[in-house]
Amino acid sequence: MNSFFEQHATFIADNPKFIEDFQGIMHYEQHPKNTILHEAGKVCDYMYLIISGIARVFYFIEDKDVSCHFAAEQETFTAIDSFIQRKKSKYFVEALEDLEVFKIAHSDLENLFTSTPKYERFGRLFLQQLYIDLVERLDNLQLKTAQERYEILLEKKPYLIQRITSKHIASYLGVTPETLSRIKK
Amino acid sequence: MNSFFEQHATFIADNPKFIEDFQGIMHYEQHPKNTILHEAGKVCDYMYLIISGIARVFYFIEDKDVSCHFAAEQETFTAIDSFIQRKKSKYFVEALEDLEVFKIAHSDLENLFTSTPKYERFGRLFLQQLYIDLVERLDNLQLKTAQERYEILLEKKPYLIQRITSKHIASYLGVTPETLSRIKK
DNA sequence: AATTTTTATTGATAATTGTCAAGTAGTAAT
DNA sequence: ATTACTACTTGACAATTATCAATAAAAATT
């Protein structure tokens, strides 16, 4: 239940024009591996839906690189703080693999929401799902051990562990690369 | 910037009928201290806005009581997993002090959203704010020490530390009561 | 007010995780 | 292929936090 279309299958089924309406504001793009798609300190005007590849959202805290979100095929990403609040972001976004994406401009999305109330509703449902996912991650950090957090990720999103370097997985789990290496033994 | 009205002041100012429209579906209630307002395993049909008192949202994991949300005056609470997903909740909600609240039924809120698109929009904005707050908490858990997390809470919500027992604050911060006691020395 | 119960603190010890350093392996570049 | 660079692993040790036990303090009950 990770993919965008799975998570919102009911809404999409109830609104046959969904695909058509969104195609009007989605733009296909390719970005080679290691491209920086967004830089901290700038306002992020786009949300992305991945066709192929993996993206990483991260930020720096006292020179330490901390990953906070990964997205693979059929998942979405953006510099969420900035996209929501329309202010400078703390996040960077980079392509960990060659990326094919659809991107949607914030302004186009706003216009769609304003002109078509049922899509305003969709925006709310989409955010609800993000919220639920985040609550689950928070619960894990609050009271699971590093080992348990690794096992949960391994079970829920094995493709991330296979395709992303250990040091990024480590910071995402809130541990050092050394600790993660020992956990995997 | 904790209170419901502060956080949504702009929207409320732009929509003079906001208070009036919401008053139509808000119901005043009192609950004495220690009342259980919601039980795990049930679907939660209400969202609450506090007039006075403090509420605690918590759940059990292997017999351990874990606090995950506190709300005081002008803040909101609900069993968020259930309220959003319309399924059985994992959370309990209790009154830590005598409570005066306005409660809003999920169905009334849905009807308001459906009949008045601008409130659908409000629902989305409200959720966006919750999301931003949660991201911040997650960042803290991911890479701050217990001491730092305590200091951040002390700075942001001192009234919680003053009015809530240490053992609840401890589980909210993800540490044992013993550790919290030592941090406070 | 006295008793019971719950909560908070303190000490000793153990477990978990982080830090630093060294070495290995893998990847990319020339 | 050789070199350079980065990532991964391992070991020794330090720091943080948890656990268990005992006591003290506070709150609730009688």
Considering only residues A150 and B63, tell me which one the structure prediction assigns the higher pLDDT.
A150
pLDDT, averaged across chain A? 93
Chain C positions with a protein C-beta closer than 7 Å:
7-12, 16-21
Average pLDDT, integer, range B109-138: 92
**Which chain B residue has its CA at the smallest distance from A149's CA?**
B142
Cα–Cα nearest to A154, from A173, A136, A139: A173
Per-residue pLDDT at A95 exceeds 80 = yes
Class of B4-105 per CATH?
A: mainly beta
In the predicted structure, residue A83 carries a pLDDT above the cut 70: yes
Q: How many Å does it take to go from CA A84 to C1' C8? A: 42
**A33 CB below 7 A from strand D atoms:** no
DSSP 8-state code for residue A71 = E
List residues of A whose CB lies inside 8 A of any B CB. 61, 64, 66, 68, 80-81, 84-85, 113, 117, 120-121, 123-124, 127-128, 130-132, 134-135, 137-139, 141-143, 174
Q: Which of B85, B124, B174 sits opposite A143 (nearest CB)?
A: B174
Mean of per-residue pLDDT scores for chain B: 93
Q: What average pLDDT does this structure show over B102-116?
A: 95
Q: Report which of residues B172 and A9 the model is more confident about.
A: B172
Q: Give the Å distances, CA to CA, from B85 to A98, B48, B80, B160, B161.
A: 35, 17, 8, 28, 31
- Residue-by-residue DSSP string for B149-180: HHHHHHHH-HHHHHHS-HHHHHHHHTS-HHHH
* Of B25, B172, B2, nearest in space to A142 by CA: B172
Question: Does position A2 have pLDDT exceeding 80, yes or no?
Answer: no
Residue linked to tokens 């989409």: A126
Bridge partners (DSSP) of residue B29 are: B101
Residue spans of alpha helices (H) in chain B: 4-7, 9-14, 18-23, 80-85, 106-115, 117-143, 146-156, 158-163, 166-173, 177-184
Please name the residues in contact with A30: beta carbons below 8 A apart, sequence gap of 6 or more. A98, A99, A100, A101
- Quickly state the pLDDT bin for B151 (edges 50, 70, 90): very high
pLDDT at A1 over 70: no
Q: Could you tell me which residues are beta bridge partners of residue B102?
A: B28, B49
Average pLDDT over residues B147-175: 95
Confidence check: pLDDT of B52 > 90: yes
Predicted pLDDT of residue B185 = 84
pLDDT greater than 70 at residue B1:
no
pLDDT(A21) > 90: no
Instruction: Using CB atoms, pick whichever of A85, A121, A139 lies closest to residue B132.
Output: A85
Q: Structurally, what CATH architecture does the domain formed by A4-114 represent?
A: Sandwich (2.60)
For the segment A114-132, the average pLDDT, to the nearest whole number, is 91
Please check the confidence at residue A74 and state whether its pLDDT lies above 70.
Answer: yes
Helix-helix angle B106-115:B117-143, to 10 degrees: 120
Per-residue pLDDT, averaged over B92-105, amounts to 96
- A143 CB neighbours in chain B (<8 A) are 61, 64, 66, 174
The mean per-residue pLDDT over the stretch B104-127 comes to 93
Structure tokens at B139: 């960042």
- In a mutational test of the B interface, the residue from A10, A113, A115, A120 whose CB has the highest number of chain B CBs within 10 Å is A120
Stretch B152-157: mean pLDDT: 94
> B interface toward A at CB cutoff 8 Å?
61, 64, 66, 68, 80-81, 84-85, 113, 117, 120-121, 123-124, 127-128, 130-132, 134-135, 137-139, 141-143, 174
Average pLDDT over residues A81-87: 94
CA distances from A55 to A78, B12, B14, B142 (A): 10, 37, 38, 20
